[in-house]
C-alpha cells in the first residue's frame, strides 16, 4: 500500500532563475515560460489530490525552486539537508520555516552534506546516493536518523550524474531507471522499467497517489508507464531541464 500524499511544498522560480547551477550547454531558460511550466506543475500536483503550498521566490538563491534538495520528509519528522553546493546552503532556513508547522525537524550537520535529490525511497528502505553533492558523512548522519525512525538504508555510488534520482525514481510497483542505473547492482533484485538513453531525463517521474506524473515529450517512457495502469499526467519541464532539474526536484511531498 502506498502512503497517501496530502501536501506539497514548492517554490516559485525568481527572475534570477537562469543564474543557478547547471551543466546544460544550450540556451538559458526563458523565465516567463519557466513560470508557466511551474504553474502547470502545481496544477498537476493538485490534480493528484495534493494541497500545494507555493513559497515565494528566494532572493539570491536561483536554485531554490529545486526544494527537493533541502529536506527529506518522513511521516515521523523532516530531515533538513545540508546541500553539497555552497551556493545552495542558504536555502535551508526558509524551508525549515515552511516545514516546522507540519513536522518535527532535525538537521544534517557539517561536515555532512546531503542533497535530497540523492535520496530514493523504496517502501521502508532508502537508497542514499553518494555524489558530488552527498558525502559519506552526510550519508552516515542520514542513515542514523532513518534508523531512529524505523527505516533501513544503503549507499549507492552515483558517478558523474548530478543526483541519484536524476536517473532512477520509484513509480509505485516498479523503479523507473535510465540505462546508467538500471544495471546497477543495488537495484538488480527489484522490479524495474528501463527508459531508453534518448529519454533518460524522463527516468525522473513521480508516482503521486493514484497517478503518475512524467515530463512531456518522452513517448517511449509514457508507453512504459502505461503498463502500470495508472492515469498519467504530463508536465512540460524544458526550462527546468535546462537548469538540471527534473520533476521530483521541484517539490517536497508528504
Residues that bind ligand CIR (CB under 6 A): 20-22, 63, 66, 68-69, 85, 88, 117, 162-163, 165-166, 243-246, 249
CB of 186 to ligand CIR, least distance (A): 18
Q: How many CA atoms lie within 13 A of 244 on its CB side?
A: 17
| Burial classification of residue 132, based on how many CB atoms lie within 10 Å of its CB (0-12 exposed, 13-18 middle, 19 or more buried) | middle
Annotated catalytic residue, options 163, 184, 211, 250: 163
Grid coordinates 542514499 are at which residue? 128
Residue 172 and residue 156 in contact, taking contact as beta carbons nearer than 8 Å: no
Question: How far is the first Cα of the chain from the last one, in angstroms, to the nearest whole number?
Answer: 15
Any catalytic annotation for residue 113? no
For residues 145-171, one letter each, b for 16 or more C-beta atoms within 10 angstroms of the residue's C-beta and e for the rest, the string is bbeeeebebebbebeebbbbbbbbbbb
If the CB atoms of residues 13 and 112 are measured against ligand CIR, the closer one turns out to be: 13
CB of 178 to ligand CIR, least distance (A): 13
CB of 93 to ligand CIR, least distance (A): 17
Residue 71 and residue 224 in contact, taking contact as beta carbons nearer than 8 Å: no
CB-nearest residue to ligand CIR: 117
If the CB atoms of residues 20 and 112 are measured against ligand CIR, the closer one turns out to be: 20
Any catalytic annotation for residue 249? yes
CB of 244 to ligand CIR, least distance (A): 4
C-alpha cell at 92: 535551508
Point out the residues that are catalytic.
163, 249
Amino acid at each position: 500500500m502506498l502512503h497517501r500524499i496530502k501536501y506539497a511544498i514548492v517554490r516559485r522560480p525568481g527572475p534570477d532563475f537562469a543564474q543557478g547551477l547547471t551543466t546544460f550547454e544550450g540556451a538559458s531558460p526563458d523565465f516567463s515560460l519557466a513560470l508557466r511550466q511551474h504553474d502547470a506543475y502545481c496544477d498537476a500536483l493538485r490534480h493528484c489530490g495534493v494541497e500545494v503550498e507555493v513559497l515565494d521566490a528566494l532572493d539570491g538563491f536561483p536554485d531554490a525552486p529545486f526544494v527537493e534538495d533541502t529536506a527529506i520528509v518522513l511521516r515521523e519528522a523532516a530531515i533538513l539537508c545540508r546541500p553539497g553546493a555552497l551556493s545552495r546552503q542558504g536555502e535551508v532556513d526558509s524551508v525549515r520555516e515552511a516545514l516546522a508547522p507540519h513536522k518535527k525537524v532535525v538537521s544534517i550537520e557539517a561536515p555532512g552534506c546531503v542533497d535530497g535529490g540523492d535520496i530514493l525511497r523504496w517502501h521502508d528502505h532508502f537508497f542514499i546516493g553518494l555524489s558530488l553533492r552527498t558525502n559519506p558523512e552526510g550519508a552516515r548522519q542520514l542513515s542514523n536518523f532513518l534508523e531512529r525512525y524505523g527505516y533501513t538504508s544503503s549507499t549507492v555510488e552515483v558517478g558523474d550524474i548530478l543526483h541519484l534520482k536524476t536517473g532512477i525514481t520509484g513509480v509505485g510497483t516498479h523503479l523507473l531507471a535510465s540505462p546508467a542505473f538500471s544495471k546497477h547492482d543495488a537495484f538488480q533484485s527489484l522490479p524495474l522499467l528501463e527508459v531508453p538513453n534518448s529519454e533518460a531525463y524522463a527516468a525522473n517521474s513521480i508516482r503521486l497517489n493514484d497517478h503518475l506524473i512524467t515530463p512531456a515529450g518522452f513517448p517511449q517512457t509514457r508507453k512504459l508507464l502505461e503498463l502500470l495502469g495508472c492515469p498519467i499526467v504530463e508536465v512540460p519541464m524544458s526550462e527546468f531541464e535546462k537548469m538540471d532539474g527534473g520533476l521530483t526536484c521541484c517539490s517536497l511531498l508528504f
